[in-house]
Chain A
């Protein structure tokens, strides 16, 4: 291009840029208009949010399996005035798949109803001490109905209007919460036991571990993020024969479990009332723990929540994520620990099929896949994400928190016990420990949180009583207490990062001094100039003018007289 054209091109580009910038920055910044309806977009809907699922052979009741499912994370103790009721327009489900086709063989459905005696006069939960679960001082309570359906048969109601253990208000209002818990633990015909109500959150981990995904690393761990918080728990204990395929636990010991929440489907055209039970929309789903954090990236979280397990294998992105997970790559980048090569069929085995030799997976162990059930047809088997439990694994007397990786076959991923440290197990598994059989040393510490802050109970429902002390004092963070004591939760230390009081205005001095200094310097320079001029003039007048070079010798290089060569400023 000639110079001229270049100039023209440059001009056009510059003008275009200037115009573009000018027009672009004309976007409204402080404008607000209200003439159209704005409905909430991101509305809080905690009641349907699955947080955890546990499934294990009951340690003290032989022949019975316990399911513990939790909802509503980060329940602050003393979280009035509405506390944390279960949603009444949703159904809370626990599903069991015993034949491996990723469709439920047993469904346990919990639905909740409010019994609200407050009317419009008060928002208080209770107006006096609540000493029993049907105390009339308890103004707001909930009840639940449990229905079950086996192998597609119609639902049968197992219990109606069972009491829900209320949110724990505090020691003054509920002096003996243990009694309330006991009264909410119901035994049903057939040996079933059910419980619904608030409990201490049994999950223990340092959530900062997952900062790995956002540029963080594992250096700042060791605090149980969930310490001190409560959850809403639904617990169910049923005999093996009710969930095993064909009722035969010897031949078919493996079951798959997952939990969902669903709401009725609404049709814009046609009827709006909920139609048949089949017309429900799944809004939340959980099987193995931390799948959303570790395996499925947030971009697929919505999909995972909406899909039923029988669709998992068909969604390529989900499968891709299991076979090529992100976390090991990050760990390799940060810690240099070599990520096992993709495709990660060992993870497919752990998460999608269960450990078995029958699926051509790399981990040669027959532990917890429905394929190992004698009456299962391999052709019907579908890989899907769910928690798989082998009911015939004997109960370990001293559970190892690292589960199968620690040599304790009764632990995660063979079901999940309350004491299993799933973060560490999954981290190790992601680094290939399950396949190699060796723990990765560099990650041995994991998230440095190895146990729950509260001790678990020895009998159904096993979860600890809800905490009472507030976790955050006034607008705090999600990080919980730094103490891991026993008993109820402890109040947190100050959560805001410490700053010095009266900070923030330090920059002002320098500018102030700058301005004043400049002024002083200018003024002085002006005055000095005047003075120098005056002095010079005065000298001219009062002294004979001596030629400056008069005293100088010819030797210009000598030390002779020469004018002061110094510079004034």
Chain B
């Protein structure tokens, strides 16, 4: 009775909290109800310049523009009215956005334009105008771009510009590669920065690749990351700050390496790098501690080597585009995993067939339950092994394969740190940090692998006495896990392929 009452109470308080804690400010326009905020995202190609201009209008400007949108005056802006308004406003925006390359202004052609309404505060709406502009431009040689946005220049609001080069390298770009407001969706709330008011900029370009394009190609976040991912993001930024910092004292250098180790450990803790697969594999194939170590080491070595190789490649080979390389690496990684899965499957199938034969029908793919590996097994000789022992636990080849697959796709954060350090002339330091990063990863992966192995051993005993259907299922487990691995590999490869194409 008392516990029930307690639960009721908790529920009531929860409701009260939900009611009282204000919900409206969350949906109110964060920058004030009369701002007109703009983002001009520049994409620079060797032969053209593309601009995605986004205008985020708060509640009052949306209301004020409504009369202009609703041309037939019926009170609701229909789809055709909206698209017509979007088109005409984007044309006006194109007229007010001047980009000069080498002193010559570009002529925009307006592509896709949309006007969307979103709910805002006090029952009103905010609106979001997106314009896709593009103009031919010659960025095949070194050039200087001057951007000047005079659209609604007298309106109060956030003004942001970003620039990313595709096949074009930005030299000391004053503009970031990605929007810090998540494309005008989530305005940062930093006490130590004023709202952005970037109305013009001067960008120098050179032909080549641009690491920023690689970073910017990653999918955007819907909101500030929380928990472990958020902490990693902050730690990464700190590390970048340390790499680029002016005052690199010995203590700072030490701390940076430490931070890289910790970051690597954290990064490996997040999903990815084949931990799931390693788990599947180790448990499905009766892995041992040494296997876990082996996989961890392979992953780390592959990852570190991959980052170093890729980083050095990207900075030396001008025509290499970062996203493309990553995409292909993803494909290769997926195929490797699939290959390992095929190998596992054939092994499992073989074992199943052999089990069907009563003669040497026993299975060695088990650690003998609570008999651990140190235990003397005099029966090893007494077994009538009509068949060969393909392996004790997972084969080394498979392990290596898993390791390589897991480490093949380098972590973007490590890559960016290295590229940034190279760009700042601190190559050695960057390499040091990447190695430290790898060490951290190795530590986590080893720990994870060892934990899995220990866990499996503990629980294996419990299922030793399983009978009936359960036993059959368990017998099929190696095949099942092999199928899983194969599927995942295929999936990875497929995803990477779609990303490239």
**Chain A residues packing against B (C-beta within 8 Å):** 3, 7, 11, 14-15, 18-19, 21-23, 25-26, 29-30, 32, 220, 497-514, 516-518, 520-521, 523-525, 527-528, 531-532, 535-536, 539, 543, 546, 548-549, 551, 558-569
* A524 pairs with B33, CB closer than 8 A: no
- Closest residue of chain A to B58 (Cβ to Cβ) is A30
* A506 pairs with B236, CB closer than 8 A: yes
Q: Is B327 an interface residue (CB 8 A)?
A: no
Q: Which residues of B contact A528 (CB under 8 A)?
A: 480-481, 483-484, 487
Q: Is B396 an interface residue (CB 8 A)?
A: no
Across the interface, A563 reaches (CB within 8 A) one of B216, B225, B379, B475, namely: B475
Q: Which residues of A contact B17 (CB under 8 A)?
A: 18, 21-22
Q: Mark B341-381, 1 if CB is under 8 A from A, else 0.
A: 00000000000000010100111011011000000010100
By Cβ-Cβ distance, the 6 closest A-B pairs, closest first, are A22-B20, A507-B233, A502-B212, A502-B177, A563-B471, A505-B178
Q: Which residues of A contact B497 (CB under 8 A)?
A: none
In addition to A500-B244, A510-B229, A535-B476, 13 A-B residue pairs with Cβ atoms within 8 Å of each other are A11-B13, A26-B22, A501-B177, A513-B271, A516-B495, A517-B272, A524-B487, A528-B487, A563-B471, A563-B474, A566-B286, A566-B366, A568-B283
* B176 pairs with A501, CB closer than 8 A: yes
Once A505-B215, A510-B267, A548-B467 are accepted as A-B contacts, the answer to whether A568 and B221 lie under 8 Å apart by CB is no
**Chain B residues packing against A (C-beta within 8 Å):** 2, 5-6, 9, 13, 16-17, 19-22, 25, 28-33, 170, 172-173, 176-178, 180, 211-212, 215-216, 218-221, 225, 229-230, 232-233, 236-237, 240-241, 243-247, 267, 270-272, 276, 279-280, 283-286, 356, 358, 361-363, 365-366, 368-369, 377, 379, 383, 411-413, 416, 420, 423-424, 456, 459-461, 463-464, 466-468, 471-481, 483-484, 487-488, 491-492, 495
Indicate the member of A22, A32, A531, A559 with the most B CB atoms within 10 Å.
A559
* A520 pairs with B483, CB closer than 8 A: no
Indicate the member of A18, A543, A546 with the most B CB atoms within 10 Å.
A18
Bound-state Cα–Cα, A539 to B20, Å = 60
* A532 pairs with B21, CB closer than 8 A: no
Indicate the member of A30, A546, A566 with the most B CB atoms within 10 Å.
A566
* B22 pairs with A500, CB closer than 8 A: no
Q: Which residues of A contact B280 (CB under 8 A)?
A: 569
Q: Which residues of A contact B369 (CB under 8 A)?
A: 565
Bound-state Cα–Cα, A535 to B237, Å = 49
Bound-state Cα–Cα, A521 to B29, Å = 38
- Closest residue of chain B to A503 (Cβ to Cβ) is B240
* A562 pairs with B232, CB closer than 8 A: no
Across the interface, B283 reaches (CB within 8 A) one of A19, A508, A569, namely: A569
* B245 pairs with A497, CB closer than 8 A: yes
Bound-state Cα–Cα, A514 to B246, Å = 34
A230, chain B: closest CB distance, angstroms = 27
Q: Which residues of A contact B13 (CB under 8 A)?
A: 11, 14-15, 18
- Closest residue of chain B to A507 (Cβ to Cβ) is B233
- Closest residue of chain B to A517 (Cβ to Cβ) is B271
- Closest residue of chain B to A543 (Cβ to Cβ) is B356
Question: Could you tell me the dominant secondary structure of chain A's interface residues?
Answer: helix
Indicate the member of B30, B219, B279 with the most A CB atoms within 10 Å.
B219
- Closest residue of chain A to B363 (Cβ to Cβ) is A564
* A558 pairs with B379, CB closer than 8 A: yes
Bound-state Cα–Cα, A505 to B286, Å = 40
- Closest residue of chain B to A550 (Cβ to Cβ) is B358
Indicate the member of B2, B20, B377, B468 with the most A CB atoms within 10 Å.
B20
* A520 pairs with B495, CB closer than 8 A: yes
Once A509-B218, A510-B267, A564-B477 are accepted as A-B contacts, the answer to whether A11 and B225 lie under 8 Å apart by CB is no
Q: Which residues of B contact A569 (CB under 8 A)?
A: 276, 279-280, 283-284, 481, 484
Once A505-B218, A516-B495, A524-B488 are accepted as A-B contacts, the answer to whether A30 and B286 lie under 8 Å apart by CB is no
B487, chain A: closest CB distance, angstroms = 4
Q: Which residues of B contact A19 (CB under 8 A)?
A: 16, 20
Once A502-B211, A506-B233, A520-B488 are accepted as A-B contacts, the answer to whether A567 and B476 lie under 8 Å apart by CB is no
Bound-state Cα–Cα, A560 to B487, Å = 33
Bound-state Cα–Cα, A498 to B416, Å = 15
Q: Which residues of A contact B356 (CB under 8 A)?
A: 543, 546
* B464 pairs with A562, CB closer than 8 A: yes
* B271 pairs with A518, CB closer than 8 A: yes
* B480 pairs with A509, CB closer than 8 A: no
Q: Which residues of B contact A11 (CB under 8 A)?
A: 9, 13
* B460 pairs with A565, CB closer than 8 A: yes
Bound-state Cα–Cα, A523 to B492, Å = 12
A100, chain B: closest CB distance, angstroms = 49
Bound-state Cα–Cα, A42 to B391, Å = 80
Q: Which residues of B contact A516 (CB under 8 A)?
A: 495
Q: Which residues of B contact A560 (CB under 8 A)?
A: 362
Q: Which residues of A contact B285 (CB under 8 A)?
A: 566
13 residue pairs bridging A and B, Cβ less than 8 Å apart: A22-B19, A30-B25, A507-B221, A507-B229, A507-B232, A510-B232, A531-B483, A536-B473, A549-B467, A561-B361, A565-B366, A566-B456, A566-B460
Once A498-B424, A532-B473, A568-B477 are accepted as A-B contacts, the answer to whether A525 and B484 lie under 8 Å apart by CB is yes
B108, chain A: closest CB distance, angstroms = 25
Once A498-B424, A513-B272 are accepted as A-B contacts, the answer to whether A565 and B466 lie under 8 Å apart by CB is yes
Bound-state Cα–Cα, A499 to B477, Å = 51
Bound-state Cα–Cα, A26 to B270, Å = 37
* A567 pairs with B412, CB closer than 8 A: no
Once A18-B17, A497-B246 are accepted as A-B contacts, the answer to whether A30 and B270 lie under 8 Å apart by CB is no
Q: Which residues of B contact A535 (CB under 8 A)?
A: 476, 479-480
Q: Which residues of A contact B20 (CB under 8 A)?
A: 18-19, 21-23
* B474 pairs with A565, CB closer than 8 A: yes
* A507 pairs with B487, CB closer than 8 A: no
* B477 pairs with A502, CB closer than 8 A: no
* B244 pairs with A506, CB closer than 8 A: no
Q: Which residues of B contact A509 (CB under 8 A)?
A: 218, 411-413
Across the interface, A511 reaches (CB within 8 A) one of B221, B358, B475, namely: B221
Across the interface, B225 reaches (CB within 8 A) one of A30, A511, A527, namely: A511
Across the interface, B219 reaches (CB within 8 A) one of A22, A30, A512, namely: A512
B453, chain A: closest CB distance, angstroms = 12
B456, chain A: closest CB distance, angstroms = 6
Q: Which residues of A contact B477 (CB under 8 A)?
A: 564, 566-568
Bound-state Cα–Cα, A438 to B345, Å = 84
Bound-state Cα–Cα, A500 to B468, Å = 62
Across the interface, B173 reaches (CB within 8 A) one of A23, A30, A501, A559, namely: A501
Across the interface, B481 reaches (CB within 8 A) one of A23, A32, A521, A568, namely: A568
- Closest residue of chain B to A524 (Cβ to Cβ) is B487
Q: Which residues of A contact B6 (CB under 8 A)?
A: 7
A81, chain B: closest CB distance, angstroms = 21
* B464 pairs with A507, CB closer than 8 A: no
Bound-state Cα–Cα, A502 to B173, Å = 9
A555, chain B: closest CB distance, angstroms = 10
- Closest residue of chain B to A516 (Cβ to Cβ) is B495
Bound-state Cα–Cα, A30 to B377, Å = 75
* A500 pairs with B424, CB closer than 8 A: yes
Q: Which residues of B contact A3 (CB under 8 A)?
A: 2
* A500 pairs with B243, CB closer than 8 A: yes
Q: Which residues of B contact A502 (CB under 8 A)?
A: 173, 176-178, 211-212, 215-216, 416
Indicate the member of A505, A516, A518, A548 with the most B CB atoms within 10 Å.
A505
- Closest residue of chain A to B472 (Cβ to Cβ) is A536
B415, chain A: closest CB distance, angstroms = 9
B266, chain A: closest CB distance, angstroms = 9
A286, chain B: closest CB distance, angstroms = 32
Indicate the member of B28, B366, B379 with the most A CB atoms within 10 Å.
B366
Bound-state Cα–Cα, A23 to B22, Å = 8
A520, chain B: closest CB distance, angstroms = 5
- Closest residue of chain B to A563 (Cβ to Cβ) is B471
* B420 pairs with A500, CB closer than 8 A: yes
Once A506-B233, A524-B491, A568-B480 are accepted as A-B contacts, the answer to whether A22 and B218 lie under 8 Å apart by CB is no
* A499 pairs with B244, CB closer than 8 A: yes
